[in-house]
Amino acid sequence: MVKGTLYTLRRKCAKPSCRCARGRRHETLVLTATISGKTRLWTIPKDRNEELRRLTEHYRQFRKARSDFLKDCAQHQTQMLRLIDGIEKLRRVEP
Domain range list for the chain:
5-91
| Phi, psi torsion values for 11, nearest 5 degrees | -145, 165
Q: What is the pLDDT of residue 90?
A: 87
In the chain, beta strands by DSSP E: 5-11, 26-35, 38-43
The separation between CA 67 and the C-alpha centre of its own chain, rounded to angstroms, equals 11
pLDDT band of residue 74 (cuts 50, 70, 90) is confident
Please, what is the average pLDDT of the chain?
Answer: 89
Give the rounded percent of residues in the chain with a pLDDT score beyond 70.
97
Q: What's the pLDDT tens digit per position in 44-65?
A: 999 999 999 999 999 999 999 9
Instruction: Indicate the pTM of the whole model.
Output: 0.68
Q: What is the mean pLDDT of residues 35-41?
A: 93
